[in-house]
Amino acid sequence: MFLDHQRLDLFDKMLFEKAEIRPPMRKPLAMPNEACLLYIVKGANDVISPTQAELVQEKQALMMKCDNYVYEMLPSQQAKTYEAVAVHFYPEVLKKVFENELPAFLKEEQQDPPKNSMIKIKVDRLLEKYFDSILFYFANPELASEELLILKVRELFLLLEKTDSQQLKEIINSLFTPQIYTFREVIERHLYSHTTNVELAELTHLSLSSFKREFKRIYGESPRRYLRKQKLKRAAELLKVSDMNVTQVAFECGFKDLAHFSIAFKDTYGCAPSLYK
């Protein structure tokens, strides 16, 4: 449930966004023509892309290029609420902000496009102070003039330019270049995750019906049947060779409900997971 939601716009586009919610909350996020820098003020966010999963915790940041994502906003031990600030990037806005003065690393030619669509950023003292200043303008929106917002965008890129992460520079330099994944790459990456068919469809950029048809064409059976079979197969392997208990194995293999896992396992292997172990 949203407790608070604010935005600061620049050139009729949302530039800065602040959200405070009562977690947990899980939702898809499609960004076909924009990129985003997410900074966690309180709580944590489990962000899933077509081929990645990153847990972003308090005082950490994540740079995401244009793509489809799934967010799961979570509480932390220190905070029962989740709060985050997002900086949204649009090509038309950045062109107006920088005009002919693009930062040097945005002009570098890409030899090989990055394989990932998101990367965690080390938040140093300067970046932390930067986001503190954005929170100040949310508390005092009447001070956030167009000229000031332009300066804040320029300041952010100057701070990011000083990073020693080549991966971050590569992602920033291809913020609006869509990643290309095969259907199999997305499915194989999320075989043992908690993603639903609806979320997998979102991550493969397909409607649910098209996703199910494509899945059956490639794997020969329905997503539900195939994914269940693969999760149970891995669970059986882990029960044999690992020191994890049944609950840990169930979670590791993408089952959220222990009772459901136990019933499914017994139906397939003829005995309870604990006896199989």
What does the pLDDT profile of the chain (277 residues) look like in tens digits? 899 999 999 999 999 999 999 999 999 999 999 999 999 999 999 999 999 999 999 999 999 999 999 999 999 888 889 999 999 999 899 989 988 676 655 655 555 667 789 999 989 999 999 999 999 999 999 999 999 999 999 999 989 988 878 888 888 888 888 888 999 999 999 999 999 999 999 999 999 999 999 999 999 999 999 999 999 999 999 999 999 999 999 999 999 889 999 999 999 999 999 998 8
Domain assignment present for residue 178? The answer is no
pLDDT of res. 4: 95
Asked if 164 and 192 sit in the same domain, the reply is no
Total-model pTM: 0.89
Q: Are residues 93 and 121 in the same domain?
A: yes
- Name the nearest CA neighbour of 62 among 123, 136, 149, 126: 123
Residue 75 and residue 42: Cα distance in Å, rounded? 8
Name the domain boundary from 151, 172, 193.
Answer: 172
Q: Where are the alpha helices (DSSP H) in the chain?
A: 91-98, 104-107, 125-139, 146-161, 166-172, 183-189, 197-203, 208-219, 223-241, 246-252, 258-269, 273-276
Same domain, 141 and 269: no
Domain count, the chain: 2
- Domain check: are 214 and 137 in the same one? no
Question: Can you give the CATH number for the domain in which 194 is found?
Answer: 1.10.10.60
Domain boundary among 172, 201, 217: 172
The CATH number covering residue 71 comes to 2.60.120.280
pLDDT at position 223? 97
Side chain identity at 10, as an amino acid letter?
Answer: L
Range of the domain at 43: 2-172
Give yes or no: residues 256 and 216 share one domain. Answer: yes
Q: Are residues 20 and 130 in the same domain?
A: yes
Q: Is 274 exposed, middle or buried (0-12, 13-18, 19+ CB in 10 A)?
A: exposed
Q: Kindly state whether residues 168 and 241 are assigned to the same domain.
A: no
Q: Are residues 101 and 225 in the same domain?
A: no
Query: Taking every pair of C-alpha atoms in the chain, what is the biggest distance, in angstroms?
Result: 68
Query: Looking at the domain assignment, is residue 177 inside a domain?
Result: no
Q: How far apart are CA 233 and CA 6, in angstroms?
A: 46
Specify whether 189 is located in the same domain as 149.
no
DSSP-based three-state secondary structure for 251: helix
Do 188 and 129 share a structural domain?
no
**Residues 54 and 118: beta-carbon distance below 8 Å:** yes
For 63, the enclosing helix (H) or strand (E) is strand 61-64
Residues 90 and 188 in one domain: no
167 plus 187 within the same structural domain: no
CA distance 42 to 39: 9
Would you state the pLDDT for residue 253?
95
Determine, yes or no, domain membership for 191. Answer: yes
Which of 172, 196, 211 terminates a domain? The answer is 172
